[in-house]
Structure 1
Amino acid sequence: MRQTTGTYGGRSAQERRAERRERFLQAGLEQFGDKPGFRAASVTALCEAAGLSTRQFYEEFRNLEEVLAQLHLLVNDWTEEAVLRALADTGGLAFEQRIAAVLRAYVTEATADPRRLRIAFVEIIGVSAELERQRLVRRSRWVALIVAEAEAAVGRGEAAPRDFRIAATAFIGAVNGLLHDWTAGQFEATLEQVVEELVALLLGAVRPPSARP
């Protein structure tokens, strides 16, 4: 299909298309991250929420799964950016302080919008083999980040050398479950309490028993 070129209303075709895509993604965030949820959503309802036509939808996406996939990547990107900023800001701190700052940034960003949390931890599960591969790839990036920080702590004498991949993978699973239950109201806790528990959990995973307080 040939794409429309030129300008209209002072905006190029590329700018108009980017705006439409953004409106579809925003509608997807609302539809998938709240009610009715991805499995009960429809292209028609999504288009109505975006204020656009089904023809415009299929110019941007193959199906609703592609919208969900894009939202999952965006949610992970936003959280990853917050974590990388925290890492950059805490380069000179001790491992415990650095980990606390990073986990606080992660938890704050991940739970800032319950719709993002639902898309990342609930709606993405079990949709298709393709989305499962995407989920595991992004999960592996978080595992790699934790392993890298643990190995850096080894280099500074703050942790004992070993293979941290199993511990990092287990920790990511614990984080996802904890944040899901916390935001779902399964227990009451402040942000600082959640961060403190995660810091203790991670330190316990990467440090040998003799180095734990």
Structure 2
Amino acid sequence: MNAKSPETLAKATGRRYRGVSNEERMAERRMKLIDAGIKVFGSTGYHTATVKGLCQEAGLTERYFYESFANAEALFTACYLHITDTLRDKLQKILLKVEADDLEQATRAGLNVFFTQFKESPEAARILLVEVLTVNRQLEELSLKTLYSFVEMLETLARPLIEQGGAGVPKSQLNSTLLASGLVGSVLYMAARWALDGCRQPVADVVENAMVIFKGVGHCLMNDC
């Protein structure tokens, strides 16, 4: 009979091994696979990735891959959710620090977080903006739900300005969700173009270009367009 390793015994009994529980080790391995997935999916694309290649990037065996994920699609979904959750958390923390009545400062701070995230991780940008639309219908729908969550954040931020309306824009014709959707869409397409060019232009410059759009909408709402 083959002697079992201490780690195997710990896993079988649920005990701690070297001060780390089995659940903690599983979580660490899962995170390694997510990090590897972001790098692989975001550089060579989802459709060229293999479980073997993902495991090699993570430094883990396939046995540990299937411990956490049923297939590459499941890992891709986890990578996508990790990216969007991280971005959402960063945006929420920044916006909480900004004065509620300073819409311009809040918008600039949020845009800086958004574009900096892509600058620091072009692979994440590719997954969020391109690859998620190529996998299957379920992930397309997930990307739309995620987009709506960011629209809701922007709508909450901009609603006071939108509700003021403008001399040439009757309040009855204004729809905060539509306006927020248009603004988020413009930022996403701007980010996609910037990422396509290798994110060469400085983040500060991209933020100021995006601010032109936001300021333009704000001007139309505050004045007679």
Deviation at 1:97, TM superposition (A): 2.3
Indicate how the Cα distance of structure 1 residues 153 and 50 shifts in structure 2: closer, same or farther if over 3 A, else same: same
Q: What's the secondary structure of 1:127's corresponding residue?
A: coil
Matched residue, 1:203: 215
Aligned to 2:192: 180
Mapped partners of 1:53, 1:132: distance in 2: 30
Following superposition of structure 1 onto structure 2, how do residues 12-27 of structure 1 map, counting pairs within 5 Å?
A: 12-27=21-36
In 2 relative to 1, CA 18–56 (structure 1 residues): closer, same or farther, beyond 3 Å? same
Aligned-partner Cα distance in 2 for 1:118–1:81 = 20
- The offset of 1:205, in angstroms, is 3.2
Cα deviations by residue, 1:125-163 (Å, 9 ceiling, x for unpaired): 1311211121111100011111111213346x5877521
Contact 2:42–2:127 (CA under 8 A) maintained in structure 1: yes
Shift of the alpha carbon at 1:116? 0.9
1:104-143 matches, cutoff 5 A: 104-143=112-151
Q: Which amino acid aligns with 2:78?
A: Q
Q: Counterpart of 2:98 in structure 1: which amino acid?
A: T
Question: More displaced, 101-110 or 183-192?
Answer: 183-192
Which has the greater radius of gyration?
Answer: 2
TM-score by length of 2: 0.83
Matching residue of 1:61: 69
Query: Secondary structure in 1 aligned to 2:130?
Result: helix
Task: Provide the residue aligned with 1:82 in structure 2.
Answer: 90
Which structure shows the bigger proportion of residues in helix conformation? 2
In structure 2, stretches of 5+ residues that fail to align are 1-10
Superposed counterparts of 1:146-161, under 5 Å: 146-154=154-162, 157=164, 161=171
Corresponding residue of 2:3: none
Deviation at 1:101, TM superposition (A): 1.8
Task: Report the CA distance between 1:51 and its aligned residue.
Answer: 1.8
1 CA distance for matches of 2:196 and 2:23?
39
1:70 to 74, 78, 95: 78
- 1:94 maps to amino acid: D
Q: Aligned equivalents of 2:98 and 2:58: distance in 1? A: 40
The TM-score, its normalising length taken from structure 1, stands at 0.87
% identical aligned pairs? 26
The 3 A distance-change label for structure 1 pair 212 and 10 is farther
Other structure's SS at 1:8 match? coil
Gaps of 5+ in 1: none
> Could you tell me how far apart the structure 1 residues matched to 2:38 and 2:147 are?
20
Q: Give 1:87 shift.
A: 1.0
Give the superposed CA RMSD. 2.4
How far is 1:164 from its partner?
Answer: 2.0
Quick check: 2:161–2:221 contact (8 Å CA) kept in 1? Answer: no
How many aligned residue pairs are there? 209
